Structure 1
């Protein structure tokens, strides 16, 4: 594998953005890990961080580079600050950046990346789990599968959880008036409803959450909504909390679940 650290300029955010990238590279090592390489139509996974993290956190807190070494997949890890993958009220358009601009930049810089929906994935933890699900539900024509690890996937129904983390001023800077989040484009439940009504093909969805995680309730509600709407999905729980012990284990399960051989 090749590991790259890049600084790109975002016209949407009007600022430099940091980006870590893992690319397949054919290697034959006598000591260590050999890896597969591919020069075209490479599957790509956008791997999103949570609150308090940045582009480097998956690389530092898990063995993600080792986990994908023989999978032939590219991993894009952008920094999106505390923007919640949303076009914020304070005029920082993190949603437009992540959903529209970043894929264009990555395909320009790394032309070997696939352009096929069925080989394009979004995965994230916590805030990033929310972002990954939002991408899948809003852009089903672009993503064949999405996975949320301990994601805040039902935030409109659990505002008290958010207010226990940061102040109302912060959240309203992101989403606007909190009473208006439910039923808006920032509400995954609303996005699911709109997707079902549109008749578009939904991506495959993977949800997981630790049994001691405060976000378990919201994940159960989202899983129930997916079930009620006959959206193909997997929902699993297991021992664990909202921490890297859980995420390091479950990112390996997500990688095993992804349809990489299509």
Structure 2
């Protein structure tokens, strides 16, 4: 396997940014096999939480070891404290992550650009970003997973940082940043499969349950689970293994 630290300029953000990338072992998962059976390597966009950066998943979990058995690239972008949002005052992080970054990744690496080979997952703020990707661009990915997601972030106390990000609750709804409103709007509409987990001692538990109830009422294909644990890396390290097993990776002889 290869672990790459990428620094590059984003035209959307108008500044330099970073991403950490894991590429599969070419001996264990030879490229000629992939090319004969559907093109490039499937890719998982793995999103960090509030206060972390692109290195968090590799520093705090065993993601590199967990993904070793899979023919799967993992791309972990850095988005500061943006909530994966085109901010009211700031930068267009949603456009960067969901549009510019995949285009750059498929240009730089031998990864598939097919929606059936593209997945997104994240923890906390990254869980919000993953489900926003699934609900706003459902045809661009094959599955999305949220671990302890901040899924009702637009209903939180309007601090100065919150206002700079979302502007107002009305703006958040209008710009597709309110996930519960998005879920309601998706009733009977096609959606990729969703996997949601939260710890029973996690401060985000109640908003996870609110999203679960709204998504199920809208008929979204959501698999929900909760279990012992708080807002902590030991839980996420265990649950990302479940996410990897759950992803609908195509069988490649």
Superposed pair shares fold, TM > 0.5? yes
Question: Is the 1:171–1:178 contact (alpha carbons within 8 Å) kept by the matching residues of 2?
Answer: no
Question: Is the 1:125–1:149 contact (alpha carbons within 8 Å) kept by the matching residues of 2?
Answer: yes
Q: Are 1:233 and 2:232 counterparts? A: no
1:87 CA displacement: 0.7
Q: Are 1:82 and 2:75 counterparts? A: no
Partner of 1:58: 57
Question: Is the 2:55–2:76 contact (alpha carbons within 8 Å) kept by the matching residues of 1?
Answer: yes
1:37 CA displacement: 3.6
1:223 CA displacement: 1.2
Q: Are 1:248 and 2:237 counterparts? A: yes
Q: Can you give the 5+ residue segments of structure 1 that lack an aligned partner in the other structure?
A: 28-34
Partner of 1:99: 98
Question: Does the residue aligned with 1:196 lie in a helix, a strand or coil?
Answer: coil
1:178 CA displacement: 4.3
1:130-169 equivalent positions in 2, closer than 5 A = 130-157=128-155, 159-160=156-157, 168-169=159-160
1:180 CA displacement: 4.7
1:225 CA displacement: 1.5
1:186 CA displacement: 0.8
Question: Does the residue aligned with 1:193 lie in a helix, a strand or coil?
Answer: helix
Structure 1 Cα separation of the partners of residues 112 and 172 of structure 2: 34
Question: Is the 1:36–1:70 contact (alpha carbons within 8 Å) kept by the matching residues of 2?
Answer: no
1:177 CA displacement: 2.4
Cα deviation digits, residues 138-176 of structure 1 (max 9, x gap): 00010110000000112234x14xx6xxxx111100000
- In the alignment of these two chains, the number of paired residues is 245
Structure 1 Cα separation of the partners of residues 10 and 117 of structure 2: 25
Question: Does the residue aligned with 2:187 lie in a helix, a strand or coil?
Answer: helix
Structure 2 Cα separation of the partners of residues 184 and 26 of structure 1: 41
Structure 1 Cα separation of the partners of residues 14 and 106 of structure 2: 20
TM-score between the two structures when normalised by the length of structure 1? 0.89
Q: Are 1:221 and 2:219 counterparts? A: no
Q: Can you give the 5+ residue segments of structure 2 that lack an aligned partner in the other structure?
A: none
TM-score between the two structures when normalised by the length of structure 2? 0.92
Q: Are 1:22 and 2:15 counterparts? A: no
Runs of 4+ residues over 3 Å off in structure 1: 37-40, 178-184
Question: Is the 2:48–2:126 contact (alpha carbons within 8 Å) kept by the matching residues of 1?
Answer: yes
Question: Does the residue aligned with 2:122 lie in a helix, a strand or coil?
Answer: strand
Structure 1 Cα separation of the partners of residues 208 and 117 of structure 2: 25
Partner of 2:3: 3
Structure 2 Cα separation of the partners of residues 216 and 203 of structure 1: 23
1:34-53 equivalent positions in 2, closer than 5 A = 35-38=28-31, 40-53=39-52
Structure 1 Cα separation of the partners of residues 93 and 63 of structure 2: 24
* 1:196 maps to which of 174, 187, 194: 187
